[in-house]
Structure 1
Amino acid sequence: MADKTLNQAIESADTERLQKIVKDLCQRSSDSKEFVEKELLTDETEPADSKETSKDSNGVPQQGKKRARYAICLRCREEYDVSKNLKDSCLRHEGELEQDSEFWVDHDEDCHGPIDEDEMKVEYPEGFRWDCCEEHADSKGCETGYHEEDTSHWPKGAKRYRWSYGP
């Protein structure tokens, strides 16, 4: 019963609180720190299928340099393991989303609001098509490549939105 309750508490906890707890665990226990390092850090500095090794400014191969194991891809917006980033790991669209005029034929923007909004693309993916492949907005990508790390959220990182029900 305690495991179930603990799992529920972890799943409902705020991201900042969880980050603080993990940091505290790492300070209190070397075993915990070692476990977290193993899970969240990697020595990999190049794509997993690359023949090259990373070199410093003097051309000397870098060895043992640690970095975050997981990143968010700038293109597909998915989390990926940087040590397993292969040339076909990222499945994405390189085009733009366009409105499918047949889908929106009865939509009145004065009454129902604007169509070309992010919320509408999520709620009505069938109302938008990728110009690169003509598939709906929620379709899997039509092109592959390496994941490209999105560093725009550094140093804060992604935070969970806190819902507020009161004034």
Structure 2
Amino acid sequence: MSSRFIDLTGDSSDVELSPEPSSNPAMNPQSRATRQPLSVVQNGNRVNARSAPVLSAALKNAINTMDAARLRMHLRQYCEAIPELRRGLERQLLVKGKGVVRYHRNTDSEDDAESENRSSEDEDASEIGREKPLMPIAIGDEEFTPMYAKCENCEEEFDVSCNNTRECHWHTGEKELYYDGDFWADHDDNCHGDPASFEDDSDFADGFMWSCCQNSGDHEGCKTTRHKAPVNVIQEAGSNKRRAEEDLQRPVFARCVTCEKRYDINDNEGNECVHHPGEKELDSDSGHWEDWDDECHGNPETLINDPDHVDGFMWSCCRGEMNSEGCTREPHEPYENVHRR
């Protein structure tokens, strides 16, 4: 039933106003129509129909126990087949050269007080907008490199883009047998073995010492620096004139997202990128699958990245063979145009 409002202002116009929406859902059909369906409740717990997928226990166990080489192989295959997965891993595992924290080749400059003061000055300069030129390392500022590397000094994995001063503790010397104490007094080489073979055994740490600081074998480290890897060590430079000439001539490298080739971003005017813009597809007309039985051998599409079955697939863009040269030529495109960190 529609409701009418009585005009008490003296206006004789017969204008019927639209009814105001009722707060009672039963009196408001529109509210009832837009109401969200109730969630199913089981055993006192509300069930979310769009809950995130959960790995089964069997799959978790397969991943945890799989050979590392096989796991990497599957990861590469899925990266080629699933662009979203590849881009996600690129964001998580890659960093540009300009984001790599530099390590001074001369380690003495890494752990002295002056180095810390210089680092503080650099941070202050960046806060007020003054950009300091980056020291050259093994890769270009715009080139991508793995975000994680193994430290040459402490042998721990570290993030090359987050490498703070004094994070790495290590020894410059060697671990040597310590005979001056009584640790080896009752040790019999014929019975217990060569003492040197226990160098990395934590139970025998007191029987060794570091040649650099004379501390026991389990000492954390007498030297503290940033972590060091081949990618973050500052390269030696010549005279200022030579450095200026090198800076003018030094190319800035990046890697092309389509053909995966390394190129100079300042020399990218030609159509040097040769690739297939299409996708890999099953070639049903190929004689490669004549004797193929899906029930016996499995789905052929799962072998799209298997080198033994390249003859059974083709490129959708040109229907060319998998090993054929790209059908499109254009300038290289860097990764940064596809995703930004």
Q: Same fold (TM over 0.5)?
A: yes
Structure number, greater radius of gyration: 2
Supply the distance in 1 between the matched residues of 2:222 and 2:69 (Cα, whole angstroms). 36
Alpha-carbon RMSD across the aligned residues, in angstroms, is 2.6
Supply the distance in 1 between the matched residues of 2:60 and 2:217 (Cα, whole angstroms). 34
> Which stretch of structure 1 is more off in the superposition, 129-138 or 20-29?
129-138
- For the pair 1:83 / 2:179, whether they are aligned, the reply is no
User: Taking every aligned residue pair, what percent have the same amino acid on both sides?
Assistant: 31
Contact 1:41 / 1:67 at 8 angstroms: preserved in 2? yes
Identify the residue that residue 159 of structure 1 maps to in structure 2: none
Identify the residue that residue 53 of structure 1 maps to in structure 2: 134
- Unaligned runs of at least 5 residues, structure 2: 1-53, 103-118, 123-131, 232-341
Deviations 1:89-121 (A, max 9, x none): 21111222122322111111122221113xx12
Supply the distance in 1 between the matched residues of 2:59 and 2:208 (Cα, whole angstroms). 42
Identify the residue that residue 149 of structure 2 maps to in structure 1: 71
TM-score normalized by structure 2? 0.38
TM-score normalized by structure 1? 0.73
- Unaligned runs of at least 5 residues, structure 1: 57-61, 152-167
Q: Which has the higher contact order (CA 8 A, sep 6+)?
A: 1
One-letter code aligned to 1:47: V
One-letter code aligned to 2:171: H
- For the pair 1:13 / 2:93, whether they are aligned, the reply is no
One-letter code aligned to 1:24: Q
Which residue among 173, 194, 200 is the counterpart of 1:95?
173
Deviations 1:114-161 (A, max 9, x none): 1113xx12222232122333433233222111222168xxxxxxxxxx
> Which stretch of structure 1 is more off in the superposition, 72-81 or 90-99?
90-99
Supply the distance in 2 between the matched residues of 1:53 and 1:3 (Cα, whole angstroms). 47
One-letter code aligned to 1:121: E
Supply the distance in 2 between the matched residues of 1:129 and 1:3 (Cα, whole angstroms). 49
Identify the residue that residue 218 of structure 2 maps to in structure 1: 138
Q: 1:138 to 1:55 in 2, by over 3 A?
A: closer
Contact 2:97 / 2:141 at 8 angstroms: preserved in 1? no
